[in-house]
Structure 1
Amino acid sequence: MGLICFPDTQDNIPSIPVHLTRVGVTGVKKLLKIERDEKRPIILLPTFNAFVDLPSTQRGIHMSRNPEAISEVLEEVVENTAVEVESLCAEIVNSLLKKHKYAKRAEVSMTSDFMFMKRSPVTKHKTQEMTKIMADAIGYRDGDDVVIRKMIGAEVVGMTVCPCAQESVKESSKQDLLEFLDEETAQKVLETVSFASHNQRGKGMIMIEVPQDHSIRGEDLIRIIEDSMSSSVCELLKRPDENAIVVQAHENPMFVEDCVRNMVHKIVSEFSHLPDDTMVTVRQINEESIHRHNAYAENVATMGELKYEIEGINEQ
């Protein structure tokens, strides 16, 4: 008995002929092992979202082709020791446009937990730190060619200290000190002691376009984000480590806006060689400790726009 030939109802004309911007699948989880020369392999459990656009003349996409494209590309790259996650997404985009001839545009995003090793600040205990890496790729048809833009990003947790509250505590402490100390001695105390403030768990994020013939390491983005807050945090801390982080954070208070501007400045310093039309997104969310709301700041700009602003600051 031969195989039954089932009809492709997706190819029917829809009763309401409206073009759809993004149709596809979300939450596709895969195991990805990236081999590296003379280093331990990187094991990721990424989650993929994959979409194409749908013309008004077609009722539905062939949905199974999206997870199929993800699986096929992953199988092809597992032996490639130089694979980059953003290039992986770009390959999936290319595969989607081959499988969906009717689509003019395809988009793939990927997020994954990423573990890196660090040492605590004083006792130097080794600790595993978890963060997130992200990658996006968007492709569209340009005649017979396919143009793809890809991005890589990271999200890292850190610590911030509110400068405003700290200044208020410092001023009230000064008034208390002046009740039994002279002005000069009180000022010396103020310059020596770290003053209390409320803290936030900060989440910094960078998403940066990777132009053709360029590469950006996710580890570099992680470092930039960590260095842009009041202090980095660590999973394993002994008492001397805790003291060091708390003191460092309170000596380096920052608003949510400061964190974004710090990241922008470091990005321009390290990646100024990228083309001026390179897109950069920087975001910081601070989870407040004395409010029920969170603080948010973001900057979306091209590298050329960021360089213009930073160079203007440097010339002043």
Structure 2
Amino acid sequence: MSLPDVQSTAPDVRISLTRVGVKNVRKLVEVGRPGKTRPAIFISEFDVFVDLPSSLKGANLSRNFEVIDEVLQQATSGDVKGIEDVCGIVSRKLLDHHEYADRTEVFMKSFYMMNRETPVSKTSCQEVINVYAHAVAERTNGKPIVRKSVGAEVTGITACPCAQNIMKDHAMHVMEQLEIPEEKIDAFFNEIPMASHNQRGRGFLCVETDGDIIVPLEKIVTVLKESMSAKIYELLKRGDESYVVMAAHKNARFVEDCVREMAKRVVSTFVDLPGDTHITIRQTNEESIHQHDAYAERKATLAELREELSV
């Protein structure tokens, strides 16, 4: 005796729904890496949605889990090239499993562990990176269109240029009162950066493409790390700590500077990506001497950034 399919019946209130699906589906994702014996491992949560026409009471949600597990098996075997590819393939297959849907959407947020080495003592340590992927598949008259994005959020340190200039002006006044020769004052400032207040910066970069393009996650992380005043590390020896503090204060940056530096590095790093690639950049600096946070953002196509930066 077959059970009735209640989901395929007509609803009492006949309106279409933009998103129907499941959220917070936790999975261990393994993505094969060319030339590597071990896959990249991501501890992940998925949100998976389809649209639903007004003629159906509900969506068959069990199909979402079936598709995710099928694609994750492909990823482990090396048939999937990146986490955005995981989302792209899931979103495409969902259209086949939900024949009534015209649009599917997949979100993936993950923890990714990276091995690091400190700058002076060369001590090994680890860092957890927050990574994100997203894909949308839409039916057309021909082949479905799939658009994917991949991004990461990275922490670093920034030093405030404004406070640093105030401290430099004060130090110069004190040195002049002590009758220190001007050339020695200049030599001191060339060697030793002035104190400033610091922030823990959180940089975010997302790259959205279509087709079979895969954006290396490592390049995204590198752009973010190089765009703040200095990199930070979980474990620091004394020499490492001195290096990080000096590096940050020799490279003082406002929150706006970080976003503009990201944009410049995106253009120089992703030279092979098409102009219609969408770029989202943002920086949040958690202030140390204020109760608020500083924030800056830029959204643009790669073609727009290239045009601006070529001037």
Fold-level match, TM-score > 0.5? yes
| Structure 1 equivalent of residue 71 of structure 2 | 73
Residue 134 (structure 1) aligns with: 132
Pairing 1:16–2:13 present: yes
**Structure 2 counterpart of 1:29:** 26
Q: Provide the aligned C-alpha RMSD in A.
A: 1.9
Deviation at 1:57, TM superposition (A): 3.0
Deviations along 1:117-175, one digit per CA (max 9) or x if unpaired, are: 22111011111122122211111000242110111111111111111111112122222
Once the two structures are superposed, residues 266-303 of structure 1 have per-residue CA deviations (whole angstroms, 9 ceiling, x without a partner) of 11112132211111111111111112221111111111
Q: 1:40 aligns with which of 35, 38, 41?
A: 38
Counterpart for residue 235 of structure 1: 234
Give SS of 1:145's match: coil
CA deviations on 1:186-215 (whole Å, 9 max, x unpaired) are 444333322111111111111112343433
Q: Do residues 219 (structure 1) and 218 (structure 2) align?
A: yes
Aligned amino acid, residue 249 of structure 1:
A
Of 40-49 and 134-143, deviating more is 40-49
Distance 1:75 1:187 in 2: 62
- Show the 5 A alignment for 1:105-120: 105-120=103-118
1:165 corresponds to 2:177: no
- 2:3 alignment partner, SS class: coil
Secondary structure at the aligned position of 2:134 is classed as: strand
Q: Aligned partner of 1:309: which letter?
A: E
- SS state of the match for residue 16, structure 1? coil
Residue in structure 2 matched with residue 174 of structure 1 by the alignment: 172
Q: Which residue of 2 aligns with 1:49?
A: 47
User: Which letter does structure 2 place at the counterpart of 1:98?
Assistant: D
Contact kept in structure 1, 2:30 and 2:72, CA below 8 Å:
no
Name the structure 2 match of 1:193.
192
> Which stretch shows the higher mean deviation, 237-246 or 53-62?
53-62
Choose 141-150 or 28-37, whichever is displaced more: 28-37
Q: 1:248 to 1:163 in 2, by over 3 A?
A: same
Partners of 1:26 and 1:287 lie apart in 2 by 30
Deviates more, 1:33-42 or 1:139-148: 33-42
179-188 or 198-207: which moved more? 179-188
Identity across matched positions, percent:
41
> Could you say which residue in structure 2 is the equivalent of 1:87?
85
Aligned equivalents of 1:77, 1:191: Cα separation in 2 = 52
- Give the structure 1 partner of residue 4 of structure 2: 6
Amino acid at match of 1:5: L
Contact 2:39 2:76 survives alignment (8 Å): no
CA distance in 2, matches of 1:124, 1:109: 37
SS of the residue aligned with 1:291? coil
Contact 1:272 1:303 in 2 (8 A): no
Alignment partners' CA distance in 2, 1:80 and 1:33: 9
Partner Cα separation in structure 2 for residue 95 and residue 195 of structure 1: 57
Give the Cα–Cα distance (whole angstroms) in 1 for the partners of residues 293 and 4 of structure 2.
Answer: 52
Structure 1: which 5+ runs fail to align?
none
TM-score (norm 1): 0.91
> Quick check: 54-63 or 105-114, which moved more?
54-63
1:236-282 Cα shifts (integer Å, max 9, x gaps): 11000000000000000111111111111111112132211111111
- Alignment match, 1:202: 201
Cα distance change of structure 1 residues 23 and 254 upon mapping to structure 2, 3 Å threshold: same
1:81 Cα deviation after fit: 5.8
Deviation at 1:183, TM superposition (A): 6.3
Q: Which amino acid aligns with 1:261?
A: R
Matches within 5 A, 1:237-256: 237-256=236-255
Instruction: Indicate conservation of the 8 Å contact 1:272/1:307, yes or no.
Output: no
Question: Residues of 2 paired with 1:183 and 1:18: CA distance?
Answer: 81
Question: Which letter maps to 1:108?
Answer: V
